[in-house]
Chains A and B, each alone.
Chain A
Amino acid sequence: MSVLRERVTWVWIGLMVLTCVTTWGLSKNLFGPAVAVVGNFLIAAVKVRYVMLDFMELRQAPLPVRVAFEAWPAVVAAVILGFWFATPAFS
């Protein structure tokens, strides 16, 4: 078992890169707030999905279970972004 040949290793590398992109890239003032916030939460939803599918091994789960769990990041991101856009600007 070579660690580099494991799918979870490549998923982990991808998740680490995405974290660096959101923390030290998107969140700086190079982008407008809407781009940064939408980007951050879409990337967070993608990261959660891969943690579920590859670390939690839901890829092999029965379809209804997989659908129920995969809906969670989509619903959470949609609700958070919905509230964010509904929040009035204060400046």
Chain B
Amino acid sequence: MDGVWVFIGADSVIFAILFLSFMKDRLHNPAMFEASRHTLNMNLGGIDTLILLTSSWSVALAIQALKRDLIDRVPRYLLGGVLTGLMFVVSKSIEYFQKFAHGIMPGTDAFYMWYFTLTGIHLAHVLVGTSLLTFLWIRSRRGAWSSSRRVVPECVASFWHLVDLLWIVLFPLLYLMRAV
């Protein structure tokens, strides 16, 4: 289990450096960052946050059920995590297609370079996490996990919560940060 915490810590530090780099670039051209930020769909970003929080909650409930050996409840909570993970992927895809349809690409300006980089790396985390949750869900239907065999589910759950907390910072950074 220690390995996953080292990974989570390292990943968090990398994202913190990316956040800092974003702010450093914004320092030099706040007008352009603000103009581009206005073209983002804040409502969709907020809904994405609600989706990921719900996903994390569902996975946390799965771990609680596992600890108490309520094995029959684990698959349904994990399925909740999988479905909400997929909902986030669909929502983000819609957002990307809307941007592409308006001719907005990573090369459009520095803000959009950061937008696609940060949300793209995060989306890769979501895809990995959703795949791992799907694996857990399939195995849980066969009763593979229990209170004494929960290291793998706990590692995947911790990674999934990391995906959630990174988005909690990314969302205000990209969508909500107004300029003076």
Contact = CB atoms under 8 A, between A and B. Distances in A.
A27 B158 contact: no
B12 interface: yes
B138 interface: no
Interface in B43-68: 43, 45-46, 49-50, 53-54, 56-57, 59-61, 63-65, 68
Q: Interface SS of chain A: helix, strand, loop or mixed?
A: helix
A75 B15 CA distance: 12
Contacts, number: 131
Size category, A interface:
35 or more
Size category, B interface:
35 or more
Contacts of A54: 60
Interface of B: 5, 9, 12, 16, 19-20, 23-24, 26-27, 30-31, 34, 42-43, 45-46, 49-50, 53-54, 56-57, 59-61, 63-65, 68, 70, 73, 157-158, 161-162, 164-165, 168-169, 171-173, 176-180
